[in-house]
Amino acid sequence: MTVLPQLDQLVAACHWIGAKGWAPATGGNMSVRQDDSYCLLSESGKDKGSLTRDDFIQVEIASNRAPSGRTPSAETGLHTLIYRLFPQAGAVLHTHTVNSTVLSRVEKGAALVLQGYEMQKTLAGQQSHLDSVSIALFDNDQDIDALSQRIAQFAQQTPLRYGFLLRGHGLTCWGKDVNEAKRHLEGLEFLFLCEMQRRLLEAK
């Protein structure tokens, strides 16, 4: 495998995610783009908070195939879809947090709309709390090919930015590199926590 500084940053991001409790048990998966044709994806079933460089498997973006024969994430198809849809995407992070899991069930619509928060500006291109940020929300599915097709169809009609929520499952987000994907993850998780608290308090 070629030396890839982004992979070291991804390993560090995985440890940070683990320390935050955002990938409990074996939940979550992470990847980095290697080039136009390949990405490096976390091995399925591992504790993502204690991954090393050797736990990342090369996967062909077009076919989801791992030339090594090892088993990458069960959600490989979602990572490769993002790399196909967004040539600028350099890293993808998928986490299982309590807030994304619960909020994605409480919100019955096709998107979680965030508005009025200064922290929206952690998301690339956002400049004001007055704008609305729409995070697409898809029903979860054990059939990742079917889920990927549903997301791809949605993306043909509606711009997908930053990430999407899977109902009762978690958040998948991306960025131009590991640093930006990590900032989007941290920003979105902060916004989800605010939105949970707001909905709880305003319901009283």
Ligand X SMILES: CSCCC(=O)C(=O)COP(=O)(O)O
Name the residues that contact ligand X, by CB under 6 A.
25-29, 42, 44-45, 73-75, 94
What is the torsional sign of CA 56, 51, 43, 84?
negative
Cβ at position 115, least distance to ligand X in Å: 29
* 94 annotated as a binding-site residue: yes
Q: Which CB sits closer to ligand X, 133 or 174?
A: 174
Q: Which CB sits closer to ligand X, 27 or 134?
A: 27
Cβ at position 70, least distance to ligand X in Å: 12
Between CA 132 and CA 112 the distance in angstroms is 10
Cβ at position 170, least distance to ligand X in Å: 7
Between CA 173 and CA 74 the distance in angstroms is 17
Q: Residue 67: which residues within 8 A CB-CB, separation 6 or more? A: 58, 60
Between CA 58 and CA 65 the distance in angstroms is 8
Q: Which CB sits closer to ligand X, 73 or 97?
A: 73
Between CA 72 and CA 58 the distance in angstroms is 8
Q: Which CB sits closer to ligand X, 96 or 161?
A: 96
Cβ at position 28, least distance to ligand X in Å: 5
Cβ at position 57, least distance to ligand X in Å: 11
DSSP H helical ranges for the chain: 5-19, 76-85, 98-106, 144-157, 178-202
> 51 near 57, Cβ under 8 Å?
no
Q: Which CB sits closer to ligand X, 20 or 129?
A: 20
Please give the annotated binding residues, written as ranges.
94, 96
Please give the annotated binding residues for Zn(2+), written as ranges.
94, 96
